[in-house]
Structure formats: C-alpha cells, structure tokens
Amino acid sequence: MSPETCQPYRELFSDLIDGALEGLAPERIQAHLDQCSGCRAEVTLLRGVVTSLTSIGEDEAPPELMAQVMTRVRTEPFWVPLWRLITTPLQWTPVRVLAPAVGLALLFLLLRPHLPIDIRIENGQTVSSQSASAIHPVWWGGAVLVNDRSYSHHDSGRLALNPGDSIRTTDKVRLALTVNGAAVEIRGRTNFIVKTDGLFLTDGKLRVRIEDGKPPSTATPGFKVETPNASVVHLGTIFSVAFDGQRTRTEVFQGKIRVSSKDGRSREMAAGEYASVESHGLLESGPLTDSPSLGRAPRSQPEDVREISPRPKGGSGS
C-alpha cells in the first residue's frame, strides 16, 4: 500500500500498543494490518522496542530517564524512517535482533543529556557543566516556547529547564517531564512555570502521576501544582489540574490530594472526585460523574479516539 494510505493508521500504532484506543478503531487498524505487510512489520517492531525498554530495571537506568525513554517511544513516530529500512534488502533481519538494537540506540540518545558535558577539573575534582537540578522535558508535535524562545522537537530530551523558567505549548504538542518525583504529562495548549517543588499553572491542563505513591511529609515536601487561585498537593496519587483563567478544576483518578483555595479553605479529595475553585475563593466538590466541564479543558480520558480516514492528496502530515 502507498504511504498516503498507511499514514493515518501509522499515527495510531503507539495508542494501539498502549491499549488507548476505543470503539471500532482497533478493529479498523487490525483490518489494515491484515492487508499491509509493511505496517504489520512496524507494529511488530514497535512492540519489540517497548518490551525491550520496559525490561530495563531501575538499577540499570534512572527512573526519570526511563520515563523520558518510554514517553519518546510512545509519542515520537521514530518508526517512519524504519519504513525504508524494512523495505530494503535488510528485511531478512529478525525483529528480535532489530528491536533491542533500536531500543538501545534510543536509550543512548536520551542518555546523552544526562552524561557529563564540558568536563573540567577544579580544585582537584571533576566538575560537569550539567546542572544537577535541571529538568529535561520530552515532547513531540510542534515547537515549545521556553522564556519566549522557541525550541523544536529536535531539542526534546536535551533542553534543560530550571526553576523559574516559563513554558508554553501549542495545541498539537504532547510533553512529559519529571519534577520533584512526579511524572507530568501535558497535551495541548498549556502555560506553566517550573518551580523547585512543582509547577505553577497559568493556563491549560496537566496530568500528574506520583511514581512512588508515597504521601509527602514535613521532611520531604511533595509535588504540588499551584494556580493563581488554588494549590493542589498530592497525597500519593494520579490527578489532573486545569485552569482557564478564572477557575481551577482538579480531578482525582487514584489516591488522594489536598486542594486549598487562596482564601484559606482546604479539602481532601479521593479517587473518583473533583474539586473546583472559583476566582472569588468558592471551593466545591463532588463525584466525577456529576462534575461540570471546564471550558475547553479536555475530558479526563487521556486522549480522544480519532477516526481513521484517508488523508486528502497533498495534505500535510501531523
């Protein structure tokens, strides 16, 4: 089949492997795979890479790095150039050989920002220019503005963020970063500022997963999200925070959080509940099934299921 016919399906391969597709989408993709040997090989290769990377334990690679690796695998269509590789005389190469090789190559590319850079000797000790507190976001889908300077996806995984940096993403961008032990995922137009203990959200929505699931303590303050009118502190959980300029809305998917309004009111929320803080300080809560939507903020599902349809000739790829 032609690349134009296959492209709409190939964009959904990572979601298929993640089990993130709903409705008839998986069946449509499977029907296409039954007819297209090239796409079938790509899906097999991608599954192998994901399996290879997930088999790497935390003792072999830092958790933050592994989170970035897995995000890159699932969001960046790195299999597009492999299309040509598969259709070359090298197609006889077993997938079980290609998959680990691609996985290790990808791991090395993401490991480069974590390796010492511009090493020098000061007072008899080796010093690296790499900041120990720097945050390295991974993104795909467009440019990211950091302190009003534009960075393309080629800077993904290499750009270092520090507390005080202001970040803006556009509608098509999908970004992930680790801050204060929390894995943060951002999809679409969002503005936020990096802080030492978390993020200050000024517009948009983000989703947070606390990897260790442990609540914070006085000795080790946990990750928190602040908005102009509220503060959200995790108690070992998965949650999302959205702000539309007037209202802060929080949804809890697992564990607990504590939501505080700027007028001093506070409330603990459990899984399956939401909280909303208005600009004048009103704090309301309830079950997610009864919660009103927040303007243009996306629904709690990680991503809407996209309809598969052939692209018009001459159309641009996403």
233 bridge partner residues: 224, 258
Predicted confidence at residue 200, as pLDDT, reads 94
pLDDT at 25 over 60: yes
pTM reported for the whole predicted model = 0.51
- Residue 265 near residue 283, CB atoms below 8 Å: yes
pLDDT at 167 over 90: yes
Which tens digits make up the pLDDT trace of 38-96? 778 777 766 665 555 554 444 444 555 556 555 555 554 444 334 334 444 444 444 44
Predicted confidence at residue 36, as pLDDT, reads 86
CATH topology of domain 138-290: Jelly Rolls (2.60.120)
pLDDT at 255 over 70: yes
Predicted confidence at residue 149, as pLDDT, reads 93
Predicted confidence at residue 91, as pLDDT, reads 41
b/e sequence 236-275, b meaning 16+ C-beta within 10 Å: ebbbbbbbeeebbbbbbbebbbbbbbbeeeebebeeebbb
Average of pLDDT values for 149-178? 88
Percentage of residues in the chain with pLDDT exceeding 90?
Answer: 11
Q: Is the pLDDT higher at 247 or at 25?
A: 247
**Residue spans per domain, the chain:** 3-114, 138-290
pLDDT at 232 over 50: yes
Predicted confidence at residue 204, as pLDDT, reads 92
What band does 30 get if pLDDT is binned at 50, 70 and 90? confident
Q: How far apart are CA 245 and CA 248, in angstroms?
A: 8
Average of pLDDT values for 170-189? 86
Q: How far apart are CA 38 and CA 32, in angstroms?
A: 10
